[in-house]
Amino acid sequence: MKIAVVGTGYVGLVTGTCFAETGNQVTCIDIDQRKVEKLNNGIIPIYEPGLDVLFNRNTAEGRLKFTTQLAEGIEGAEVIFLALPTPPGEDGSADLKYILKVAGDLGQIMKDYAVIVDKSTVPVGTAEKVREYISLAAQVEFDVVSNPEFLREGVAIEDFMKPDRVVIGTQSERAKVIMTKLYAPLVRQGNPIIFMDERSAEMTKYAANSFLAVKISFMNEIANLCEKVGANVDDIRRGIGTDSRIGKRFLFAGIGYGGSCFPKDVQALAKTSQEYAYDFKILKSVMEVNARQKTKLLPVINEHFNGDLKGKTIAVWGLAFKPYTDDIREAPALENIQALLAAGAKVTAYDPEAMENVRQVLGNKITYAHTSYAALDDADALVIMTEWPMFRTPEFGKMELLLKNKVIFDGRNLYELDQMKELGYTYYSIGREA
Ligand code: UGA
């Protein structure tokens, strides 16, 4: 099948590459000329494990192409994916200007029937708006389908190629047949394609992300209470996660969720509720809980140093919002580092992938270490912000020689309390006794 993907951000690039891998002829279109040049020269602008292998194979074999020209890119395409940004506007609602602009353009240039697919996370009612904008000038028949994407950064390829489910919002039988054919290689293990109307599909995506944000925030609240009552949140997690109604995943307490999706989507769903005069109380609480959780360790750090961080050197392990990505959008690390700097501390940070991105934001305000151990040299304490696997089983003996004090503030509960006690560390974590 010939398909086009408009927008080569995270979702667009993964969608295009994976559909090329399943044998389709894919053209990705982006208005950013520099990005398209890079992609045409084999340079992938994001870090995503496994993407390079598929990208290289499919570009080399001619199934994956890039262009800045919309008309050229969609020529002959049976399916046109819209994977465009929907940044939050000032009021928190998703801004649809990019999507609607392309919809308007498509109406003018489409020469044959095509299925236009909303892949980005878009508010309820967007498919209808896209249809309206295309209709303004369209001379051919077309269908608009909502097909939200559920991939996670860091495991995007696996999530895309083996989705738990594929959600397709459309009432058009013609579009259903085409989408079923396109997704057939990804649902061979019996993972379902769930058909529904467009509005329900759009809502499903927000419901999924918001529910996961609720799950995490609920555990963060339990963790905070555990600290007060003297219980251990890791045991609670194991105790409740084994109940299949609750499930094991997304129950890890920490310093809050970040990234480009949960914060934006929870906010956008809250905004939608407001527009429909519905008081969605849980969403408001989730946003409040997460904002508080992100800087939860700051007062603990402050208190440990008797309110005086001036001149103290703090080592930070982990800058990305989660492991296996270089993405620092809404990353708790940034907010914490800025607060530490404002309190007069010096920060030496290490992250295996995200340091270049942080340098764009913080420049020389912090020191970037070449290795996790180099970050510890002469530091007064270590703060852990991201659970990269390499931080889980470090050489404690080596750390001891570098750190000035054996003090760790762990925002991701990487170590066992007994182990830390035995090693003689002053160890602060989340939802467990100090
Ligand atoms: C999330 C969803 O998981 C995807 O299904 C969805 O497609 C994507 O958003 C999107 O809308 O595009 P992602 O933002 O890549 O994916 O990352 P997650 O793995 O979901 O993690 C989100 C945040 O939750 C991270 O900050 C992570 O540290 C935090 N988290 C996750 C916890 O604090 N505890 C947990 O138990 C799990």
Q: Are residues 251 and 348 in the same domain?
A: no
Inside any domain, residue 434:
no
Q: Are residues 90 and 191 in the same domain?
A: yes
The confidence score (pLDDT) of residue 93 equals 81
Beta bridge partners of 26: 3, 64
Alpha carbons 38 and 46: distance in angstroms, whole number: 11
At 224, is the pLDDT very low, low, confident or very high (cuts 50, 70, 90)?
very high
Starting at the edge strand found earlier in the chain, the sheet holding 426-428 runs 367-368, 346-350, 313-317, 381-384, 407-410, 426-428
In this prediction, residues 136-156 reach a mean pLDDT of: 96
The confidence score (pLDDT) of residue 350 equals 98
The confidence score (pLDDT) of residue 398 equals 95
Q: Is a pLDDT exceeding 70 seen at residue 434?
A: no
- Bigger pLDDT: 89 or 303? 303
Q: Is a pLDDT exceeding 90 seen at residue 380?
A: yes
Inside any domain, residue 316:
yes
In angstroms, the first-to-last Cα distance of the chain is 58
> Which ligand 1 atom sits nearest the alpha carbon of residue 208?
5
CA-nearest residue, atom 13 of ligand 1: 152
Q: Are residues 242 and 310 in the same domain?
A: no
At 10, is the pLDDT very low, low, confident or very high (cuts 50, 70, 90)?
very high
Nearest residue to 204 via CA among 159, 173, 166, 177: 166
Q: Are residues 60 and 129 in the same domain?
A: yes
Q: Is a pLDDT exceeding 90 seen at residue 91?
A: no
Q: Cβ distance 7 to 31 under 8 Å?
A: no
Inside any domain, residue 402:
yes
Q: Cβ distance 144 to 110 under 8 Å?
A: no
Instruction: Give the list of residues 6+ apart from residue 141 with CB closer than 8 angstroms, or none.
Output: 113
Task: Give the DSSP letter of residue 51.
Answer: H
The confidence score (pLDDT) of residue 167 equals 98
- Bigger pLDDT: 22 or 190? 22
The domain boundary residue, chosen from 228, 258, 293: 293
In this prediction, residues 258-270 reach a mean pLDDT of: 94
CA-nearest residue, atom 27 of ligand 1: 257
CA of 312 from ligand 1 middle (Å) equals 33
Q: Locate 191 and state its tokens.
A: 């993972």
**332 CB near ligand 1 (under 6 Å):** no
> Which ligand 1 atom sits nearest the alpha carbon of residue 256?
33
Nearest residue to 160 via CA among 290, 300, 252, 50: 50
Q: Are residues 327 and 418 in the same domain?
A: yes
The confidence score (pLDDT) of residue 394 equals 97
Q: Are residues 287 and 327 in the same domain?
A: no
What type of residue sits at position 203? M
Q: What is the pLDDT of residues 111-130, one digit of tens each?
A: 999 999 999 999 999 999 99
The H or E element containing residue 346 is: strand 346-350
Q: What is the ipTM of this complex?
A: 0.94
Percentage, residues of the chain above pLDDT 90: 96
In this prediction, residues 252-281 reach a mean pLDDT of: 95
CATH of residue 353's domain is 3.40.50.720
Alpha carbons 271 and 60: distance in angstroms, whole number: 44
Q: Cβ distance 260 to 327 under 8 Å?
A: yes
Which structural domain range is residue 345 located in? 295-428
261 classed as catalytic: yes
Alpha carbons 153 and 36: distance in angstroms, whole number: 21
The confidence score (pLDDT) of residue 185 equals 97
Counting the structural domains of the chain, the total is 3
The confidence score (pLDDT) of residue 87 equals 86
CA of 24 from ligand 1 middle (Å) equals 29
**Summary mean pLDDT of the chain:** 96
Inside any domain, residue 11:
yes
